[in-house]
Structure 1
Amino acid sequence: MAGISIFVFLVAIVIAVWIARDLSRPLRQIVSFTQAVASGDYRNQLPQQTQIVEVNELVNVTNELSRQLSKNQALRERLSSDIAHELRTPLTTIQGSLEAMIDGIWPIDEARLVSLNDEVIRLTHLINNIENIASIEHREDKLIKVDTDLSKLIQQVLNNFQSNLEEKRITLDYQTEKIIVAIDPNKINQVITNLLSNAIKFTQTKGKIIIKLKRVADNVVLTIEDNGSGIAEKDVPHVFDHFYMADPARNRQQGGQGIGLAIVKAIVVAHGGSVSVDSELGVGTIFTVKLPLNN
């Protein structure tokens, strides 16, 4: 009897050692991997070859964390580069103009001073937009939600653009119904303003813009459609990226900075909604905003 007990005990020890070894090896790999990630190395991924479900789950989570950190790092690097580029353009213009005036190459006249002031205003506007989108995306800018008649809010924005529509003789087709939804009216006003401004900017004279507001299941859906220049297929997936401009020269000529649609997406996502775009070059563009009714 004692011999059997000793045998069972020895078998148990062997099994325990085997399990411990099988468990400790991937855990050591995970520790080593997370230390590399903590130091900023996101290049590698952990192998998923263990026989232990819980360890595999830990491996999956750790790999996903590494992928997300890698994406965030790439985004930060791209944003830093984009911001530097966007700031450099007006600063270079201002510096060059001031140096020309100081050296006596250009006269100090009203027209040049007005031009310099315009560049300063553009620079200030850009910095404000960068701060705006950063605060929204990091949820530092709290939403102040109130029950709002969305159709009335759209009409208020339309009133602000009346002269722009008349100047380009754009036909407006406005199809809406009264829908009350809990939103931050100031933020959603900015969404509608940015989308309508884009539609007017890229719609030719005597063009047409269609605005629709309706309930669809548990959502309120706003679409703004134009028959303007449209967006190339290769550019469509990037229109909501920070500082992305399909035609940079044309956008800057019309006052664009490539950040308006990024602000739109940040605000809509903060409301628990979504925004998408369908476009065809030379045909037109449709932006669709969905907001939950039970927000």
Structure 2
Amino acid sequence: MKHTLRGRLTRFLLASALVSGLTALLLTNAALYDTFYNYKEAVQLESARDFSEYTSRIYQINGGWTGKTQAMLLAYPGTDQFGFRIYDTQDYMVLNSQLLPDRVSFHQSMMRRMGRNAIFFQKRFYDGTEILEEIVVNGETIGTVELVYPSTFSVDTAELDFTSGVNRSLLMSLAIALGISGLLSAYLSKLLSRPIVNLTEVTKSIRSGQLNRRAEERQSVRELTELSGAVNDLAQTLSHQSEIRKRLTSDLAHELRTPLTIIQGQLDAILEGIFEATPDRLIVARSETERLIGLVERLREIADLEDDTVALTYEDIDLSAIVQDAVTLFEADAMTRGQTLTSDLSPVLPMVGDAHRLRQVLVNLLSNAVKYTPDGGRIRVETRTIGSTALLKIFNTGAGILPEDLPFLFDRFYRADVSRHRETGGSGIGLTIVKLIVDAHKGSIDVKSDAQTGTTFTVTLPLQPPL
């Protein structure tokens, strides 16, 4: 049987509180009895000194160890707590007073009760003790008094009630602390488990296809807020990818349908005798077939780049020279449309990269720039070095790209031109290949577009390939 997070948290917090409370209780109890032991020991030593002084005075008053002296010593208040023996200077026992059996039994009974009431009770408290004090008269030692206690310390009813009351208070405090800890544990476990349960429900909904579900991001715990945000980002990404897949299916069908329809129309007309199978008719069919082959090849290229199955051929290259060759390639097209194509290139921009792939990037970007720049517009290409990176910029004037289209510009088959006219829209694959090639070089590509000024593609590439 699997336990819920809330139950586990509650039990864990309660167990922690119980262990902490018991530890504090035992340590407090041990400290209490240790302090009490030291206190009673000090009291016993003080009593021994007092009894020794009393014995000295009685000895002086009665002029020696007389019968009256012994009677007055036996009448000393407090002798019901201890027995005593008095020795002279020759170690001869002058007087031996023992506690009555009922008093010994009383003290032992009190100690047993104290032990039962104590959470922490040391065995040393049960051991009897003997205290020796010298009897001094006028600066001269005349004997020794030995006090004999039935236990380490004698306990009276008031002291027993005090220690028992402390223990009861400690136990009550522990019970109250456990109760409060239980309530706090239940609240905290609910506070932590509720958003997790909500996240679980959201992820299950996302898994079932409800990609519009979102988790509440404003949580009381920072980590849960970050987790909720990550789940929402994942849902947003999945929703976007779902839309891309739908659009990909539609666009791919469109890209395949046009050439196939042309080929089928030409073949049907030839088979039905409407047209003769002239070279011109066959050339049309062949050109459309080549278009299909080119589309399939570009799709395969995207798949290879995404799967990292195409290895880049790194070599020492001059990026400015490659850019200049590409600019020369499009000068005639730009001139035909009255466009101004200029460049501002570093004389030499040495770096390590795949010359063929980088030329492919430039051809795609310049082809789009010429295609989307209106007649009489301007196109400008720049290269320069910034630190350990090479910077390539391609700017063109025109209507620009809508802000809502910018995030999806590098998605396959995506075209901001909803008319899908081939002369302006293309197949929607070129920029996808550009992005994959730049990523393969561990670089980055950025697009900024404004309806008034135009569009700028910025490619940043490391001068040396990453290890």
Same fold (TM over 0.5): yes
Q: Secondary structure at the match of 1:105?
A: coil
TM-score, normalised to structure 2's length? 0.54
Instruction: Please point out which of 261, 265, 283 is paired with 1:114.
Output: 283
Q: CA deviation at 1:75?
A: 1.5
Matches within 5 A, 1:1-295: 1-158=170-327, 160=329, 173-177=342-346, 178-201=348-371, 209-225=379-395, 230-234=398-402, 237=406, 240-243=410-413, 244=415, 246=417, 252-253=422-423, 256-271=426-441, 272-276=443-447, 278=449, 286-293=456-463, 295=465
Instruction: Give the aligned residue type for 2:427.
Output: Q
Mapped to 1, the partners of 2:425 and 2:201 lie a distance apart of 50
Q: CA deviation at 1:112?
A: 0.5
Judging changes above 3 Å, is the alpha-carbon distance between structure 1 residues 291 and 108 closer, same or farther for their aligned structure 2 residues? same
Judging changes above 3 Å, is the alpha-carbon distance between structure 1 residues 20 and 110 closer, same or farther for their aligned structure 2 residues? same
Judging changes above 3 Å, is the alpha-carbon distance between structure 1 residues 278 and 9 closer, same or farther for their aligned structure 2 residues? closer
Mapped to 2, the partners of 1:56 and 1:48 lie a distance apart of 5
Q: Secondary structure at the match of 1:192?
A: helix
Mapped to 1, the partners of 2:433 and 2:445 lie a distance apart of 13
Mind listing any 5+ residue stretches in structure 2 that lack a counterpart?
Answer: 1-169
Judging changes above 3 Å, is the alpha-carbon distance between structure 1 residues 40 and 140 closer, same or farther for their aligned structure 2 residues? farther
Q: Secondary structure at the match of 2:317?
A: strand
Indicate conservation of the 8 Å contact 1:135/1:141, yes or no.
Answer: yes
After the TM superposition, which of the residue ranges 44-53 and 58-67 deviates more from structure 2? 44-53
Judging changes above 3 Å, is the alpha-carbon distance between structure 1 residues 72 and 53 closer, same or farther for their aligned structure 2 residues? same
Q: Match for residue 12 of structure 2? A: none
Count matched residues. 291
Q: CA deviation at 1:17?
A: 2.1
Judging changes above 3 Å, is the alpha-carbon distance between structure 1 residues 167 and 20 closer, same or farther for their aligned structure 2 residues? closer
Indicate conservation of the 8 Å contact 1:279/1:286, yes or no.
Answer: no
Q: Secondary structure at the match of 2:211?
A: coil
After the TM superposition, which of the residue ranges 112-121 and 43-52 deviates more from structure 2? 43-52
Indicate conservation of the 8 Å contact 1:265/1:275, yes or no.
Answer: no
Mapped to 1, the partners of 2:434 and 2:446 lie a distance apart of 8
CA deviation string 1:158-201 (max 9, x = no partner): 56557657877876544322111232222111011122333445
Mapped to 2, the partners of 1:202 and 1:22 lie a distance apart of 56
Q: Secondary structure at the match of 2:176?
A: helix
Indicate conservation of the 8 Å contact 1:268/1:275, yes or no.
Answer: no
Indicate conservation of the 8 Å contact 2:202/2:215, yes or no.
Answer: yes
Identity within the alignment, %: 33
Mapped to 1, the partners of 2:370 and 2:309 lie a distance apart of 31
Taking only aligned residues, the RMSD between alpha carbons, in angstroms, comes to 3.3
Mapped to 2, the partners of 1:49 and 1:273 lie a distance apart of 33
Mapped to 2, the partners of 1:257 and 1:5 lie a distance apart of 75
Mapped to 1, the partners of 2:381 and 2:341 lie a distance apart of 8
TM-score, normalised to structure 1's length? 0.81
Indicate conservation of the 8 Å contact 2:401/2:416, yes or no.
Answer: no
Mapped to 2, the partners of 1:155 and 1:67 lie a distance apart of 41
Mapped to 2, the partners of 1:201 and 1:59 lie a distance apart of 43
Mapped to 2, the partners of 1:203 and 1:45 lie a distance apart of 41
Judging changes above 3 Å, is the alpha-carbon distance between structure 1 residues 72 and 253 closer, same or farther for their aligned structure 2 residues? closer
Higher relative contact order (CA 8 A, sep 6+): 1
